[in-house]
């Protein structure tokens, strides 16, 4: 997603500046080229040598420095970059930006870049400064400009020792914001339903039957759709990974059991353009749920649990699919993988099915990577090699959205 992209990072004088080398390392790891501009005060919190070492480029911190590659770095850097992120963005820098003040290397660069390239501001300051009417007015002004995003600061322990709203968003959120800014909005206006995670089928008040799904693949798909501008309804079973939602385009709906997930999907389907059924939904559930904890009696060596089939979400959606709606399923197979997946796609009237196998090392439940085969009803087949689930999610969307 960020491979080959040129990212310009602007650092202002806040304590959160010490986190920026971590952001740079993460972006470089993803294949981006990163350059840095900073205020002089920022270099009180993080050294110029550190920033230069992790980015591989000199830092633009002095408008008149003799070492600058160009006499007008504040013009050449915005020309070079694909996007700029200001992190941390202090109250001072936000106020200057809103007023068009350009009196150092950082603010002259911001002034040259704003409204020309995608820009992200990540505020970080004391909660009292965040609540200041002047700060809020500056943010409203900046948000009125094209291609500009101001992230919400997080709540937590602040540098002064108190707790409140003012912490810079975490590095993962900053990277997610950059990916969002740089992704073409090819799914703008589309309503997408995604299921993720494993279902939990209750036996009694303290036990349930489930599987090893963590929800990583479904959540990666939700993030990928949101980056493309879609309005995502993410129906979650049991998930164990965070769902980042910096732009509010993902609506999480919890549905722990197969029955609840089925009911939720049926309600959403009529107003949905695309459904991607990634959740690991139980095929069977206890026929009866005990009202009290099931106890083991003295000498007991076995226990018989009667199971009943659960509602078939894919079949229900496929049978009511309208022209223009797209239905995509997942198949995890352990034998005759392709044949079983094709039969499942045909039987449930899906437009495409994503096949993965427990035979593949590094793929399946709980891993950060996956390897899949995408089979479409038109007969086309797309093989995606072992990659991160975030990259796989992009590949799946590219394959299923092709005409």
What 3-state DSSP class applies to 55?
helix
With CA atoms as reference, report the closest residue to 267 among 340, 275, 284.
Answer: 275
Cβ distance 164 to 127 under 8 Å? Answer: yes
Which of 81, 160, 225, 278 is the catalytic position? 160
C-alpha 305/C-alpha 307 separation (Å) is 6
* DSSP class per residue in 152-200: PPEEEE-TTS-EEEEEPPPHHHHHHHHHHHHS--TTTT-EEEEEESB--
C-alpha 265/C-alpha 284 separation (Å) is 18
**Cα 235 to the center of its chain, rounded Å:** 15
Q: For residue 225, indicate whether it is catalytic.
A: no
What is residue 25's DSSP assignment? H
β-sheet bridge partners, residue 254: 236
With CA atoms as reference, report the closest residue to 198 among 171, 237, 245, 166.
Answer: 237
With CA atoms as reference, report the closest residue to 169 among 14, 348, 16.
Answer: 16
Element holding 303 (H helix, E strand): none
* DSSP class per residue in 215-277: SHHHHHHHHHHHHTT-EEEEEESB--S----TTS-EEEEE--SHHHHHHHHHHHHTT-SEEEE
The structure tokens listed for 195 are: 């299921």
Q: Quickly tell me which residue has 């990928």 as its tokens.
A: 224
What CA dihedral angle connects 292, 296, 301 and 302, to 10 degrees? 0
From residue 126, alpha-carbon distances to 90, 136, 156, 209, 391 in Å are 9, 13, 11, 47, 37
Catalytic residues: 160
């Amino acid at each position: 997603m960020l491979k080959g992209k040129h990212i310009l990072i602007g650092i202002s004088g806040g304590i959160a500046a010490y986190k920026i080398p971590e952001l740079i390392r993460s972006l470089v790891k993803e294949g981006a080229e990163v350059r840095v501009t900073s205020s002089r005060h920022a270099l009180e919190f993080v050294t110029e040598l550190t920033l230069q070492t992790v980015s591989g480029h000199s830092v633009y911190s002095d408008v008149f420095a003799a070492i600058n590659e160009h006499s007008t770095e504040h013009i050449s850097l915005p020309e070079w970059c694909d996007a700029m992120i200001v992190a941390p963005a202090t109250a001072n820098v936000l106020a200057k930006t809103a007023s068009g003040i350009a009196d150092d290397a950082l603010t002259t660069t911001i002034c040259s870049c704003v409204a020309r390239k995608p820009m992200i501001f990540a505020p970080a300051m004391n909660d009292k400064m965040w609540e200041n009417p002047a700060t809020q007015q500056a943010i409203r002004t900046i948000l009125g400009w094209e291609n500009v995003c101001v992230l919400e600061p997080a709540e937590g322990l602040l540098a002064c020792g108190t707790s409140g709203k003012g912490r810079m968003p975490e590095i993962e959120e900053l990277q997610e914001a950059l990916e969002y800014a740089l992704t073409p909005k090819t799914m703008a206006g589309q309503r997408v339903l995604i299921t993720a995670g494993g279902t939990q089928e209750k036996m009694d008040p303290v036990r349930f039957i489930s599987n090893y799904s963590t929800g990583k693949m479904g959540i990666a798909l939700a993030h990928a759709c949101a980056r493309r501008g879609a309005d995502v309804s993410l129906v979650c079973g049991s998930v164990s990974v965070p769902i980042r939602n910096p732009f509010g385009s993902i609506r999480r709906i919890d549905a722990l059991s197969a029955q609840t997930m089925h009911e939720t999907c049926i309600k959403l389907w009529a107003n949905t353009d695309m459904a991607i059924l990634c959740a690991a939904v139980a095929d069977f559930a206890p026929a009866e749920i005990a009202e009290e904890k099931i106890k083991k009696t003295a000498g007991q060596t076995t226990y018989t649990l009667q199971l009943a089939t659960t509602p078939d979400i894919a079949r229900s959606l496929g049978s009511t699919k309208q022209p223009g709606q797209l239905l995509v399923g997942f198949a995890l197979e352990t034998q005759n993988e392709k044949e079983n997946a094709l039969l499942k796609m045909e039987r449930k009237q899906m437009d495409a099915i994503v096949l993965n196998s427990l035979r593949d090392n590094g793929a399946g439940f709980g891993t950060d990577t996956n390897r899949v085969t995408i089979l479409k009803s038109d007969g086309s087949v797309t093989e995606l090699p072992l990659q991160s689930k975030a990259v796989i999610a992009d590949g799946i969307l590219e394959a299923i959205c092709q005409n």
